Structure 1
């Protein structure tokens, strides 16, 4: 961790010095002020789409407390060590598979990519938590009873092991789907930073609450029911924000963002911004209302033709 801190000062480039291959910078950076930062934080916390997304942020890491507690109670030392190793290992390929959907260039609509990825994550999450609830109830997993100390050679190992590994997928992928959505809402680096802060604060608060509940001795069945309900609410909110607020592009809509030359040329030549007719119509309506920034004036005149 100390090495990472040192490398931060040596290797990380100031965002205002980042230049694209076409010679353009990524944004116009202004010196931050206390008043501006306070105003920015307030605007994020009062933004309807962020408020709607808060439940999805809140539950992002909640599964960790419950599943860790069950793992420690149900399995013996060497088995829970194996479980923890594979819990971490599954977090490498799972996001790669998710990225194949949510960053797939063959799927032209960004909204469709977000919905497909989030639906997959949601189904795995709800299926795993629902399965955990059924497993806890059917096997009478009760922390007030003596720990069974299940070993990986026992027949009772498989079900609990699979559910624990699936929770690793939830832990990695649910919050990635939320972060993807936040990143899709803006190209403004300053706003991205505020979104990231809102996410990290909210997801940490959710994890804190889940560990607090577990530390108070709530039985596993009730904890699982609480988490299942919260994940359902968070998933629905996530899908709603993607369906309603994610645009085909945010270029031309934010004054501080510098549009890449290739994208600007594509719009000027093709007159198409969205990836399908519905999305293109949204952009054209925004052009008609004059909501596009001044830097896009010449380009959008061509696009509307």
Structure 2
């Protein structure tokens, strides 16, 4: 029990009202930021509340928010051009979206730590309803400016949502559960895109049009509007207890200046995370070729909807498999990291090799003839193309899951994870903005594919030193330093816990 109490003390929240007692014992130079006084773990006696407050249930609720918002956004994006025949409005909106997404995400960890996870998540969810509503407006009045403005606003909102999501998803599991929790989230989140794609397929099955109807957009506006309400249902992270009895570290309400200092302290104290940036950059770059330059130009609308459904469904399967690999208890954490890396590396080469083989058969000039679009009724031609798209979805899932897992291997601290998730979405969004800009400038499809493939290779190579030198069996609390005074605070709490244990011995 002594060891359990020691670990719990080093993981508990600064929101504890007894924090003042701790600071008074430590002298005038000790300022608590994220560690509270030693306190026993308390769980509700109400069985419903006990189940509801379980970490996996809370991560599932975070998944539901993303099911309703980014999941349905992906369903619209996945058919190419935001559901429009001409992708110009969608591409320009995407550039605006990912540009603001990238800039705001760099500082989103600071915003998250200041506002708290639930409010940050809820505010982020609101932008998706506006964005999809702008395409409904575009169908009616062709107002491209509104679509672009909605994209820029969504970039701000999405940076908040994904930073809070990443922090919660990686802070709630124990170190041996992170792969499973990432899978749980990813499956629920992608089920939103599967459901959205199924709705699209049903509404477009007998349609000869090549753009999404008003009724489809309207249904998605209503569903995305529910996302912010689900965020309000989350349990206060300060009251959360992991399955092993440890507390969730909740950042204290420090000043904006200190939070910004923490951003750069993280990069200085843990520079290995910079080597993850190329992997982050590639992680959304490949969407442009897959969605616009492959699915968007080669297939009829109903076939694009079917492809979209299979793409996101394959993500659920890929996430489930890689999650089990990364949480395999019979292997060390570094061995699991190497195995996960190998799986992703092999799938990456297979998918882009197959994509290159297909890309040799068409160009921007040849796809202008609408009569050449492939329909799933032409099975002899469609099946091979379909399987390539399915494995493209698997690649996306295993890539993103491994990236999140590596972030989780660097920290268990909600504050630091907020910063890391912000970095991830910032670099990732910069890549997406670059890819959509290339597509909007009408670069050859083959050029887009070659750049994407090259970035994926670079991303995997830069990860090698991180796995070899940074991934440890357990995370050292002193590597979690993000706020001035944190290292001294950890040492102070360790001293108080040791004293408490000696007193009760």
For Structure 1 versus Structure 2, the TM-score category normalised by the shorter chain is 0.7 to 0.9
Instruction: Specify which of 455, 458, 462 is matched with residue 233 of structure 1.
Output: 458
Matched with 2:364 is 143
Q: In 2, distance between residues paired with 1:247 and 1:135?
A: 41
Asked whether 1:33 is paired with 2:286, we answer: no
Identify unmatched segments of 5+ residues in structure 1.
258-291, 300-305
> Aligned with 2:265: secondary structure?
helix
Matched with 2:432 is 207
Tell me, yes or no, if the aligned pair for 2:411 and 2:480 is still in contact at 8 Å: no
Tell me, yes or no, if the aligned pair for 2:237 and 2:250 is still in contact at 8 Å: no
Tell me, yes or no, if the aligned pair for 1:142 and 1:220 is still in contact at 8 Å: yes
Structure 1 consecutive aligned stretches of length 4 or more whose deviation exceeds 6 Å: none
Matched with 2:410 is 185
> Aligned with 1:60: secondary structure?
helix
Give the alignment's Cα RMSD to 1 decimal.
2.5
TM-score (norm 2): 0.48
Q: In 2, distance between residues paired with 1:43 and 1:204?
A: 23
Identify unmatched segments of 5+ residues in structure 2.
1-223, 483-489, 499-505
**Cα–Cα, structure 1 residues 83 and 187, in superposed 2: closer, same or farther, change >3 Å?**
same
Asked whether 1:105 is paired with 2:329, we answer: yes
Asked whether 1:173 is paired with 2:404, we answer: no
Q: In 1, distance between residues paired with 2:278 and 2:462?
A: 7
Cα distance, 1:35 vs structure 2? 1.5
After superposition, residues 1-305 of structure 1 pair within 5 angstroms as 1-9=224-232, 11-20=233-242, 24-27=246-249, 29-45=251-267, 47-69=270-292, 70-107=294-331, 109-137=332-360, 139=361, 141-145=362-366, 146-147=369-370, 148-152=372-376, 153-253=378-478, 293=491
**Cα–Cα, structure 1 residues 22 and 115, in superposed 2: closer, same or farther, change >3 Å?**
closer
Cα distance, 1:227 vs structure 2? 0.8
Q: In 1, distance between residues paired with 2:240 and 2:468?
A: 32
Structure ranking higher in helix proportion:
2
Tell me, yes or no, if the aligned pair for 1:87 and 1:165 is still in contact at 8 Å: yes
Q: In 2, distance between residues paired with 1:74 and 1:18?
A: 48
Q: In 1, distance between residues paired with 2:384 and 2:405?
A: 31
- Please say which of residues 44-53 and 78-87 is displaced more in the overlay: 44-53
Cα distance, 1:215 vs structure 2? 1.5
**Cα–Cα, structure 1 residues 85 and 183, in superposed 2: closer, same or farther, change >3 Å?**
same
> Aligned with 2:408: secondary structure?
helix
TM-score (norm 1): 0.78
Tell me, yes or no, if the aligned pair for 2:296 and 2:304 is still in contact at 8 Å: yes
Cα distance, 1:159 vs structure 2? 2.6
